[in-house]
């Protein structure tokens, strides 16, 4: 089992926990807007860490961002495996070709 699978199971198990006993349960109890707000905060912190250039800080903030993205995925009944499947689908595909296939500019 990978760390992403373990973390997915942990997030799922905490969905129904008391918000007083679990950070994840607290996020779920506040709803999607709270989860998305955390993703925005963590994305900003990741950007700032990158601009700062401290590699350990970049990794720390990226881990926070990925974690909160996993909570959002779980909110929608998805998991990291769904994202990994999509990344595997794109492997070997030109980024320009993939973007054009979605009608992106």
Domain boundaries of the chain, sorted by first residue: 3-9+22-91
Which span out of 66-70, 96-100, 101-105 was modeled with the highest average pLDDT? 66-70
Higher pLDDT, 95 or 66: 66
According to the model, what pLDDT value does residue 66 have? 98
CB burial of residue 69 (10 Å; 0-12, 13-18, 19+): middle
pLDDT at residue 102 above 70? Answer: no
CA distance 98 to 104: 9
CA distance 17 to 7: 15
pTM value surpassing 0.75: yes
Q: Is residue 11 within 8 Å of 24, Cβ to Cβ?
A: yes
- Banded pLDDT at 96 (limits 50, 70, 90): low
pLDDT at residue 58 above 90? Answer: yes
CATH fold for domain 3-9+22-91: Helix Hairpins (1.10.287)
Q: Is residue 45 within 8 Å of 63, Cβ to Cβ?
A: no
């Amino acid at each position: 089992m990978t760390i992403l699978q373990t973390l997915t199971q942990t997030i799922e198990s905490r969905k129904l926990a008391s918000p007083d006993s679990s950070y994840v349960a607290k996020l779920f109890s506040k709803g999607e807007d709270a989860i998305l707000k955390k993703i925005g905060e963590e994305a900003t912190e990741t950007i700032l860490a990158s601009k700062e250039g401290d590699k350990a800080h970049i990794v720390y903030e990226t881990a926070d961002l990925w974690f909160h993205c996993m909570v959002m995925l779980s909110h929608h009944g998805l998991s990291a495996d769904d994202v990994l499947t999509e990344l595997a689908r794109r492997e070997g595909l030109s980024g320009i070709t993939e973007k054009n296939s979605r009608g992106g500019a």
